[in-house]
Copies of this chain bind each other. A is one copy, B any other.
Amino acid sequence: MKVLIVEDDPLHRSYLHEAVNAALPECDTVIEAENGTVGEKLARDHKSAHIVMDLQMANRNGIEAARTIWKERPETRILFWSNYSDEAYVRGVSRIVPDGAAYGYVLKSASDERLKLALRSIFIESQCVIDREVRGLQQKSLGQTNGFTDSEYEILVDIALGLTDRAIAKRRGLSLRSVQNRLQQLYDKLDVYQSGGDDHEDGRFNLRARAVTVAFLRKLLNYSALERAEAELQEWLDGK
């Protein structure tokens, strides 16, 4: 059995290496990659390897890497090991996981024990292991209560990218008015009207910009999500 570790930080990398050795005596080779690009390449070279992947990496982030890896080989087992449980990450991951694939999401703050258990569950037993905290987010976001529809999330990303209503309409194949409807829906859910709605109206917000900020502060968006969305946008722009 082979395990591929994809992780930015040398300290974390060697920690992972040890953890893998301790948790999986049946594993005979451990390979390391220090960014997403190298990770993809090594995954291609070692087709049987299971993967432990950091999400936040400078060169090419974990979600990107995982997507191309899964595209080539959907049955690959990947354990995401991340510092954060931003909804943006969680959403990003669940968007790309293939049907029936075994994967995991464990926070770096988890104990050694938890990490080892997760390693064994996923790589040996093919079971999904999602950190409790992450799991909570996932359910809240999928359940309609307090969560965001895909269409709402989509339009959030679009205004975060800085598109006009018209451009969004064109991109998503909607009328102008429909786009604006979704925006209102979004504004409602993000509670953008806060602080100033009742008394004097002088401190009002620019709803569009405020929505993006609030989403950022709530970790619905983060840098990595923006980066991905921007790449998709450019692709679309080039494709006419």
Footprint of B on A, CB under 8 Å?
Answer: 9, 11-12, 15, 83, 108, 159-164, 166-167, 170, 192, 195-196, 202-214, 216-217, 222-223, 226-227, 230, 234, 237
Contact = CB atoms under 8 A, between A and B. Distances in A.
A178 to B, nearest CB: 17
A150 to B, nearest CB: 21
A227 B159 CA distance: 20
Given A164-B204, A223-B222, A213 B195 contact: no
A170 B202 contact: yes
Nearest to A12: B11
Given A9-B108, A11-B15, 16 more contacts: A11-B11, A11-B12, A159-B209, A161-B210, A162-B192, A162-B207, A162-B208, A162-B210, A162-B211, A163-B206, A166-B204, A167-B203, A203-B237, A208-B208, A213-B230, A216-B223
8 contacts: A161-B210, A162-B207, A162-B209, A163-B205, A163-B206, A208-B209, A213-B230, A217-B230
Contacts of A160: 209, 213
Contacts of A213: 160-162, 226, 230
Contact of A206 (B159, B170, B217, B234): B159
Contacts of A237: 195-196, 203
Nearest to A164: B206
B162 A206 contact: yes
Nearest to A208: B209
A226 B164 CA distance: 23
A151 B18 CA distance: 50
A238 to B, nearest CB: 9
B230 A226 contact: no
A164 B201 CA distance: 12
Contacts of A214: 162
